A and B are shown apart, each in its own frame.
Chain A
Amino acid sequence: MRKIVYAAAFVFVLAFVFAVSVPYSSADSAVTEADSGNISWILICCALVFIMSPGVALFYGGMLRKQSMTSVMAQTAIVMGIMAISWTLIGYSLAFSGDIFGIIGNLDKALSENIEYNVIPDGSTVPELEFMLFQMMFAMITAGIVLGACMERVRFNAIAVFIAVWSVLVYAPMAHWVWGGGLFDQYLTVLDFAGGTVVHICAATTGLALAVFVGQRSERVMRRGHSMPMVFIGFAMLWFGWLGFNGGSGLAADGIAVNAVAVTIIAPAAGMISWAAVQYRYAGHTSALGLISGALAGLVAITPAAGYVRPGPAIIIGLVGGALCYYGVMFMRNRSGADDALDVFGVHGVGAIWGAIATEIAAVIATVAFCFAASYGIIWVLSKFVRVRLSEEEEAIGADISELAEPAYNLR
């Protein structure tokens, strides 16, 4: 049976490679000059991607015990704030302005000077400020996903400083390499439509580095979610937002956007089904959380390919993504020894790596190595100055009270 599964996976991989190797020709999209259609669609996509960050807070919060709900919301909120400001001050410029040896951009657009809001640059479809805003939403959601792996252990102050440093030293270079004319852009053919590499592999690897650094949650903390409805609302916001995440990544209101939105529904639907099937086979039942995880795996897997594949291959990508991520999560939980609290690496890491694997394996390896090493380094240095981990007692009482003096549920 296992051999059949492996063989099937291999065939799917081949099919995927084939699907990607005959991509949609971008010449088919006629729209090259600015019009109100492009501008309004991308503004809508900004709003859609924005809602993913608070969605992540609810999604993760529901999977933790109730004593940690406020701390998830607070950490997500501060991370959104930090990423937005950091991106405006320096991040965008480092990622997208000029290029220094393929490593990093320059500071010409620091403080968001020289970013026009009513002029459309050559070769673009929207004003640069709108592009910068759209990219900012990606920076925010990426940082939000990182939190999931190390929840319930890392102190608020530590995560705030970490993300501020990380946004400059890890996220901006990654964005530059893949999208901004850096290394990957110059030397590798990265077919990363909507940021599977930058957003998901980077977030997952960073999260893994943090989880490894701070160690497991103490045994005293029960590993049981407290609110499935919360998880479901967060998941709904994520999927909803993802339509803009993929749909806007072509930066135009054109046929590619239509295709991207379509496969953003189709692939997760397939992922849901295959996760359910695999879980049913191994666990004897399926579950709401399983269906949600399967859909997320499909979403993550389709993200790098959303602009290139038609609905048929999208189903295959989703099916394989869902099943693979089930194994990924089981491995992370049972074998790896890292306490990836919310299966960030299992779902986002494995899913995104699968999604990107046919595009360029070298880019995947480089991303994983860089993000892990750099993030681990940052948190290691940081730990010399700030206490990173909650004490056992703080953990037992819950970060809501011990850090924020604000329980999430005190209605009595």
Chain B
Amino acid sequence: MKMITAVFRPEKLQSVKDALKAAGINAMTMTDVRGRGQQSGIVFTNRVGSLVVDEIEKTRIDIVLEDKEVDTAIDAIKKAAATGHNGDGRIFVMPVERSIRIRDE
């Protein structure tokens, strides 16, 4: 069992959700997050100096799924969230020890 954490552009959330649903993956947690990547933010220059924005808004989703579903999910997310520019985000895969449904006795 694995957990996938994907961080990507907020405006791509809908297409990521659609792509995952098409791949048969429904359950997930979505969070609005802020962060910075390899470029450590974006620099804007005006006439007197520059301004660094290093807290860029992203959306993060966490999905727990069976090992065999991981590659499908990664493909779906990559396809749906990519623009080809800096700041497209990242996907992390981690092992999960147990998954418990609260409703169950």
Interface residues of A (CB under 8 A from B): 67, 219-222, 393-394, 396-397, 401-402, 405
Complexed CA–CA distance, A219 and B9 (Å): 11
Minimum distance in angstroms from B80 CB to a CB of chain A: 13
State the majority secondary structure of interface residues on B.
strand
B9 near A397 with CB under 8 A, answer no
- In the assembled complex, which residues on chain B have CB atoms less than 8 Å from the CB atom of A397? 42, 44, 53, 56
Chain A positions within 8 Å of B42 at CB level: 393, 397
Question: In the complex, which residues of chain B have a beta carbon less than 8 angstroms from the beta carbon of A394?
Answer: 44
Contact across chains for B51 and A405 when beta carbons are under 8 A apart: yes
- Does A221 contact B53, Cβ atoms closer than 8 Å? no
CA separation between A67 and B55, bound complex, in Å? 13
Cβ of B67 within 8 Å of any chain A Cβ, yes or no, is: no
Give Cα distance in the complex from A148 to B21, angstroms: 36
Interchain nearest-CB distance for A158 vs B (Å): 14
A401, B53: Cβ atoms under 8 Å? yes
User: Can you report 21 residue pairs joining A to B where beta carbons are below 8 Å apart?
Assistant: A67-B57, A219-B11, A220-B9, A220-B11, A220-B83, A222-B10, A222-B11, A393-B42, A394-B44, A396-B87, A397-B42, A397-B44, A397-B53, A397-B56, A401-B44, A401-B51, A401-B53, A402-B44, A402-B51, A402-B53, A405-B51
Contact partners of A67 in chain B: CB under 8 A? 57
| A-contacting residues, B3-51, CB 8 Å | 9-11, 42, 44, 51
Interface residues of A, dominant DSSP: helix
Residues of A contacting B10 in the complex (Cβ-Cβ under 8 angstroms): 222
Separation of A54 and B18 alpha carbons in the complex (Å): 40
Interface range for B: 10 to 19
Contact partners of B53 in chain A: CB under 8 A: 397, 401-402
- Residues of B near A405 (CB, < 8 A) are 51
Which B residues are in CB contact (< 8 Å) with A401? Answer: 44, 51, 53
- For the complex, give the distance between the alpha carbons of A67 and B11 in Å: 13
Chain A residue with Cβ nearest B10: A222
B11 pairs with A221, CB closer than 8 A: yes
When chains A and B are docked, how far (Å) is the Cα of A221 from the Cα of B9? 10
Q: Which residues of B contact A222 (CB under 8 A)?
A: 10-11
For the complex formed, measure the closest distance between the CB of B7 and the CB atoms of chain A, giving whole angstroms.
15
Residues of A within 8 A of B83 (CB): 220
